[in-house]
Amino acid sequence: MSSALKLGIAGLGNVGTGTVELICAHGDAFPSRTGCGVEIVAVSARDRMKNRAIDISPYTWFDDPVEMASADDVDVFVELIGGEGGVAKAAVEAALKAGKHVVTANKALLANHGVELARLADDNAVALNFEAAVAGGIPAIKTIRESLLANEISRVYGILNGTCNYILTRMQKEERPFAQVLEDAQHAGYAEADPSFDVGGHDTAHKLSLLTTLAFGVETSFDTIYVEGIESISLADIEAADELGYRIKLLGVALRTDSGIEQRVHPTMVPKNTAIAEVDGATNCVAFDGDFSGDIMLIGPGAGAHPTASAVLSDVLDIAKGGVLPPFARRTADLKPYRRARMRAHEGGYYIRLSVYDRPGAFAAIAGRMADEGISLESIVQRRPPSALPGIDAQLDDGTPLPVVMITHKTTEAAIRAALEKIEQEGNVNEKPQMIRIEKL
């Protein structure tokens, strides 16, 4: 390796531009910190003539990032194109096969092809680093690959999507419905014109799959993650959570169990007195439960040009220092097949909201369906009108739907879903029942 590590950067969007800006701002200090300088020698993007905040004239331009990936004067290929396949995958494969180190922020690519690409990196003795693919500026990957390497991790979880956290925070603090806050988030640039990838939980699932592989040493299994987004969260749920002492967050959770690995993404009620409940706005957090380290939580900006560029450069500078670690903390040959955990009882119980027709026998039928599935209720609250008492059918006589909130004891999700399906089929509710897990964190 020469005295300056030579970079080829593919993709000059916000993160690519931020990466160039960071090198220009602090590049002179890198030799004293790593023993090796960093120099951009080539760039590639879809539109060479696009007006950008950076000057790309000093760098060799490539129309084809695949060609740039294997260019002789490129030591590290920095992939910031995005997408789970196509040119991004082809370029990363070309770089690895040519013996080039790769740094990427592409969570979708790694969630779908990470093990395959890691094997290429192992075979060619080069780095495949992806700190920027999970939680922006938070050093989540480095924490698992380096700081917690001596530990057995039993659980990894977190708020991994800033868009969802921003929306849920605004709903709670401003008492405004999902649709209104989403529209504001789109205008402010926190949500895309098509927000489904974020609010549907898929972005969180991509990131969780990578954390799972790193934490538990199993092959990536994105397709087995249970994914539920925040589209169904109503202002009524936000208000009920507040009254019950909770906040609603979209969490990604992965657990090591006796029967395998459990991975899930869904809205979750977390107690107000926990640290994760205080993570507001577009901020992310990632938490790890290690057997010797104890519980660790990292909080910081999960997206944005500068925080993500900082993560990209941390990977580049690790390579500059001469560090080539296995991409998933273990050699690819040592990753175990993913084994999905059996369904088990959820310790925290569930929040259920029903809109029940105000008529005789409705509550008795609902309670019966819960009992059929062996579900024990901790509490049941009929929120409006205040004069109505849950379970007293004599007061239910005009057919008006009434909001009812139930909290269950420990039970399985399969039992809850079976009971709610029967309740919905019997016609005693006028909308789809809402179910949210309650987590003990």
Note whether 201 and 111 are same-domain residues.
no
Residue 202, in any domain of the structure:
yes
Domain-located, residue 325 = no
**Rounded CA gap, 311 and 286, in Å?**
15
Residues 186 and 270 in one domain: yes
Q: 117 and 202 share a domain?
A: no
Please tell me which residue, 193 or 315, carries the higher pLDDT value. 315
What number is the average pLDDT over the span 196-214? 97
pLDDT at 399: 65
User: Is residue 379 predicted with pLDDT exceeding 90?
Assistant: no
Q: Where are the beta strands (DSSP E) in 358-413?
A: 377-382, 401-408
Q: Pick the last residue of a domain from 99, 116, 133.
A: 133
Give the pLDDT score at 392: 39
Domain count, the chain: 3
Output DSSP code: residue 230. S
Residue 389 lies in a domain: yes
CA distance 196 to 328: 29
The answer on 164 and 119 residing in a single domain is: no
**From residue 300, how far is each of 210, 281, 405, 422 by CA, in Å?**
19, 11, 34, 43
Whether 284 and 370 map to the same domain: the answer is no
63: domain CATH number is 3.40.50.720
Sheet arrangement for strand 128-129: 60-61, 37-44, 4-10, 76-79, 101-104, 128-129
| 266 domain residue, yes or no | yes
> Does 148 share its domain with 267?
yes
- Known catalytic membership, residue 207: yes
> Do 157 and 250 fall into the same domain?
yes
Are 278 and 250 contacting, i.e. CB atoms less than 8 angstroms apart? no
Q: What is the mean pLDDT of the chain?
A: 92
Residue 344 lies inside a defined structural domain of this protein = no
Report the share of the chain in percent with pLDDT over 90: 82
pLDDT value, residue 106: 97
Exposed/middle/buried for residue 273 (C-beta within 10 Å: 0-12, 13-18, 19+): exposed
d(CA 212, CA 137): 19
- Over residues 409-426, the mean pLDDT reads 92
Q: What is the pLDDT of residues 276-330, one digit of tens each?
A: 999 999 999 999 999 999 999 999 998 889 999 999 999 999 999 987 999 999 9
pLDDT higher than 70, residue 386? no
The pTM for the full model equals: 0.92
Residues 359 and 264 reside in one and the same domain: no
Which of the four pLDDT bands, split at 50, 70 and 90, describes residue 383? low
Q: Confidence class of residue 364 from pLDDT cuts 50, 70 and 90?
A: confident
The pLDDT confidence band at residue 272, using thresholds 50, 70 and 90, is very high
Do 108 and 153 lie in one domain? The reply is no
**Which CATH number is 290's domain given?**
3.30.360.10
- Of 227, 213, 262, the C-alpha closest to 412 is 262
Q: Are residues 26 and 111 in the same domain?
A: yes
Element (H, E) at 17: helix 14-26
242 membership: H or E segment, kind and range: helix 235-244
Q: Are residues 161 and 292 in the same domain?
A: yes
Is residue 253 assigned to a domain? yes
Alpha-carbon distance of 278 to 169, in angstroms, equals 10
Q: In this predicted structure, what is the pLDDT of residue 1?
A: 43
Cis peptide bond prior to 385, omega within 30° of 0? yes
pLDDT at res. 169: 97
Whether 389 has a pLDDT exceeding 70, the answer reads no
Assign residue 432 the CATH number of its domain: 3.30.70.260
- Which of 92, 112, 133 delimits the end of a domain? 133
Res. 402 pLDDT band, cuts 50 70 90: confident
With 50 as the cut, is the pLDDT of residue 32 above it? yes
pLDDT of residue 331: 94
Query: Does 41 fall in a domain?
Result: yes
Domain of residue 85 covers 4-133
Calculate mean pLDDT across residues 369-376. 93
The active-site residue out of 142, 207, 410, 432 is 207
Last residue of a domain, one of 107, 133, 159: 133
Alpha carbon distance 276, 158 (integer Å): 8
Asked if the structure places residue 328 within a domain, the reply is no
Handedness of CA 279, 315, 111, 182 (dihedral sign): positive
Q: Helices H, strands E: what count in the chain? A: 14, 16
Asked if 265 and 250 touch (Cβ cutoff 8 Å), the reply is yes
- Is the domain of 295 the same as that of 173? yes
Tell me the pLDDT tens digit for each residue of 243-267: 999 999 999 999 999 999 999 999 9
